[in-house]
């Protein structure tokens, strides 16, 4: 009995131990099972777009297809969210609807892990309707490179960027810039797909062959079988040359030099920035717009590789320029400061002047650098006198100035009017385009005749006129203003103001970065030129805001240059003929600059900045600076910049794509 009781106790103890072990296993095992069953979300992606962007017309729809990569049994379900319902909406199935023009972000978010998401930028605007490549097939040898160029339609597409892809990377690869490299013999299809999600694409079939055995070099290079038949300087920045036969050349093949004397050597080099040709026989070469050809110098154009060259003299055309000047002087007034610059023309010059006011004389002042005519004496009689000053240089150019002397006293009243030029349909001006001399010096003003009613003109007590051109067509008009001496109503004069109203050439532009998106800020310059020295055209500059600019100019020929804000990248349209046009249908330019957006954000650990001012180069490399704010548009290169106040710094390298960089406080 004792032995049996002892055994029963042992059995009970063993049962308790086993039960405890089972309980522990029940408590611990499920945790591992839950972890294995749940898994993790690795990534969220959109599979039916070539890039994370989409352009839709207003009212159009597009349904996103998403892919969630997970480990274990994590959920692959997603939700969709828009950053701006006024621009674009998205439903639970990923269907996007374009509402109105603008940009919104669509977020594809994992339900299992909200930190995992994919962001698609949606632009409601103009999608691409066609993509075209400059080649549809090409043959290459192993190791060689070529660049394919893609053109999208329409020109005003919201995004002009494309995505490049090779069907066989072992045969040929392609970069994001369309540069194809032949790797091994075979065929590959290069595809350029519109980045805006429109689905438009174009292809080029590339056949790669093995390189043929190189021929042994000739002991002496063959003489060129072509020559430059003619050359002509088209303007201060352009030269036209014509070859005896077609020769395929680029801007890098040309060099241009200048010298002043026939017996001198060519010391002045010019940088060729553009070479235009349609037939490879006639080329128009453009030099850097910060330089220009000087009149009456010798110009030489050469082809570097062949030694072929030609020379010419850039001569002035013979001209006869006339102008008018007014001098108002009181009787017996001093004349020490009255003189006229005579630095006209080329070489030695002769001068003559006739019929000066009584009591006046002149002499020619030559200070070894400049010449001028100095008037001496004092006029002794009131009245108006006209003098003709003639200067003729050794090339036969003639410069004539008609000088109108208005000699006044308290009994004489004279007015001098200016000729004003404005564009038709402009709002108008508030100005006083005339002067009055003599009498008591106190006057009253009234509109006396001419076209003042057409111009809706009013005049103030001080003689200032408010003139409108809103209802005025191109032509020449006049307004007369009667000016009366306040102290002597019988003493008055009439000023006749001539208004030349012209139809303008309206131009506009959209300026994009290398991604095809409008740049935030930039600049433009217009340089008008003419072979006629008496014709004055606009030379002006202005700002580009949100990728656009517009301006009205005098019709004529212009070089038009567009810059990024830091002037580190530019593009020039040379010899543009800008005709009269309507402001509703301007001459439009679509420009892509080789710059990329650089977004600068404060480093969360190294910066206390909340905003940024104007950025400059730390080493002073760029005189223009790099604009202000948190986004800069810059070409490829390495940059070390700081804010103008020296509080924030940033280092980065631009290498063919947009980037975000951290700014840090000065250490």
SS3 sequence of 295-307 = CCEEEEEEECCCC
Q: What is the pLDDT of residue 530?
A: 63
Distance of CA 568 to the CA centre of its chain: 11
User: Taking the C-alpha atoms of 429, 430, 434 and 435 in order, what is their torsion angle to the nearest 10 degrees?
Assistant: -160
Coil, helix or strand for 28? helix
Instruction: Determine which helix (DSSP H) or strand (DSSP E) holds 624, and give its type and residue range.
Output: none
Q: What is the pLDDT of residue 418?
A: 85
Task: Identify the DSSP state of 13.
Answer: H
Rounded CA-CA distance 596/207 in Å is 33
Coil, helix or strand for 19? helix
Q: Give the position of tokens 């001569």.
A: 315
Cβ-contact 344, 397 below 8 angstroms: yes
pTM value?
A: 0.53
| For the chain, the helix, strand and coil percentages under 3-state DSSP, each to the nearest 5 | 5, 50, 40
The secondary structure of 264-296 as a DSSP string is: S---EEE-EEEEE-SSSSEEEEEE-TT--PPTT
Two tokens, residue 654: 């631009």
Rounded CA-CA distance 171/564 in Å is 38
Cβ-contact 145, 181 below 8 angstroms: yes
Nearest to 163 by CA among 53, 240, 88: 53
Q: Which residues contact 287 (CB under 8 A, 6 or more apart)?
A: 237, 238, 239, 256, 270, 271, 272, 273, 293
Q: What is the pLDDT of residue 24?
A: 40
Q: What is the pLDDT of residue 619?
A: 83
Rounded CA-CA distance 313/264 in Å is 13
Q: Which residues contact 204 (CB under 8 A, 6 or more apart)?
A: 133, 135, 136, 137, 138, 148, 189, 190
Q: Which residues contact 385 (CB under 8 A, 6 or more apart)?
A: 355, 356, 357, 404, 405, 407
Distance of CA 337 to the CA centre of its chain: 45
Coil, helix or strand for 347? coil
Q: What is the pLDDT of residue 211?
A: 80
Cβ-contact 220, 300 below 8 angstroms: no
Distance of CA 635 to the CA centre of its chain: 13
Two tokens, residue 661: 């960089």
Q: What is the pLDDT of residue 397?
A: 83
Q: What is the pLDDT of residue 72?
A: 87
Coil, helix or strand for 38? helix
Two tokens, residue 579: 């005709």
Residues in the chain: 667
Rounded CA-CA distance 397/534 in Å is 13
Residues of the chain with pLDDT under 50: 1-7, 9, 17-18, 20-37, 533-534
């Amino acid at each position: 009995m004792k032995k049996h009781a002892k055994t029963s106790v042992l059995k009970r103890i063993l049962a308790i131990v086993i039960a405890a072990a089972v309980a522990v296993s029940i408590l611990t095992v499920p945790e591992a099972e839950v972890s294995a069953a749940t898994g993790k979300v690795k990534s969220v992606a959109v599979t039916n777009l070539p890039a994370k962007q989409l352009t839709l017309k207003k009212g159009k729809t597009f349904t996103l297809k998403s892919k969630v990569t997970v480990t274990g049994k994590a959920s692959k379900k997603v939700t969709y969210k828009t950053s701006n319902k006024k621009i674009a909406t998205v439903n639970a199935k990923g269907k996007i609807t374009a509402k109105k023009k603008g940009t919104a972000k669509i977020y594809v978010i994992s339900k299992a892990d909200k930190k995992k998401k994919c962001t698609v930028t949606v632009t409601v605007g103009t999608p691409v309707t066609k993509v075209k490549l400059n080649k549809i097939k090409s043959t290459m040898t192993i190791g060689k490179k070529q660049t394919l160029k893609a053109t999208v339609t329409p020109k005003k597409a919201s995004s002009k960027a494309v995505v490049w892809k090779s069907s066989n990377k072992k045969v040929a690869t392609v970069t994001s810039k369309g540069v194809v490299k032949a790797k091994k013999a075979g065929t590959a299809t290069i595809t350029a797909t519109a980045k805006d999600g429109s689905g438009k694409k174009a292809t080029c079939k590339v056949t790669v062959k093995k390189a043929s055995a190189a021929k042994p070099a000739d002991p002496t290079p063959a003489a060129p079988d072509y020559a430059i038949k003619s050359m002509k300087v088209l303007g201060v920045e352009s030269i036209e040359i014509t070859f005896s036969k077609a020769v395929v050349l680029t801007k890098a093949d040309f060099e241009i030099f200048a010298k002043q004397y026939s017996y001198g050597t060519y010391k002045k080099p010019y940088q060729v920035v553009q070479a235009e040709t349609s037939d490879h026989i006639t080329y128009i070469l453009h030099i850097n717009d910060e330089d220009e050809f000087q009149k009456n110098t010798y110009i030489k154009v050469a082809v570097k590789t062949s030694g072929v060259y030609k020379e010419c003299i850039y001569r002035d055309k013979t001209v006869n320029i006339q102008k008018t000047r007014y001098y108002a002087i009181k009787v017996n007034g001093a004349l020490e400061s009255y003189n006229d610059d005579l630095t006209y023309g080329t070489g030695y010059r002769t001068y003559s002047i006739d019929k000066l006011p009584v009591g006046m004389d002149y002499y020619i002042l030559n200070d070894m650098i400049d010449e001028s005519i100095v008037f001496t004496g004092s006029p002794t009689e009131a009245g108006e006198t006209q003098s003709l000053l003639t200067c003729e240089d050794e090339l036969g150019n003639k410069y004539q100035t008609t000088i109108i002397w208005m000699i006044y006293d308290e009994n004489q009243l004279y007015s001098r009017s200016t000729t004003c030029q404005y564009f038709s349909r402009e709002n108008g001006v508030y100005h006083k385009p005339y002067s009055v001399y003599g009498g008591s010096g106190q006057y009253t003003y009234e509109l006396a005749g001419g076209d003042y009613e057409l111009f809706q003109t009013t005049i103030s007590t001080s003689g200032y006129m408010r003139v409108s051109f809103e209802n005025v067509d191109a032509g020449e008009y006049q307004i007369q203003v009667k000016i009366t001496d306040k102290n002597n109503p019988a003493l008055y004069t009439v000023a006749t103001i001539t208004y030349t109203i012209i139809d303008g050439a309206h131009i506009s532009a959209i300026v994009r970065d290398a991604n095809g998106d409008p740049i935030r800020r930039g600049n433009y310059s217009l340089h008008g030129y003419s072979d006629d020295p008496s014709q004055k055209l606009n030379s002006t500059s202005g700002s580009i805001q949100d990728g656009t600019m517009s301006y009205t100019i005098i019709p004529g020929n212009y070089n038009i240059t567009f810059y990024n804000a830091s002037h580190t990248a530019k593009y020039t349209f040379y010899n543009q003929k800008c005709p009269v046009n309507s402001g509703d249908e301007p001459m439009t330019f679509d420009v892509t600059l080789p710059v990329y957006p650089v977004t600068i954000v404060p480093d969360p650990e190294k910066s206390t900045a909340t905003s940024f001012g104007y950025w400059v180069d730390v080493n002073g490399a760029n005189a223009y600076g790099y604009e202000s704010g948190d986004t800069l548009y810059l070409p490829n290169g390495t940059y070390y910049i700081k804010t103008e106040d020296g509080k924030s710094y940033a280092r980065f390298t631009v290498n063919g794509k947009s980037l975000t960089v951290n700014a840090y406080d000065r250490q």
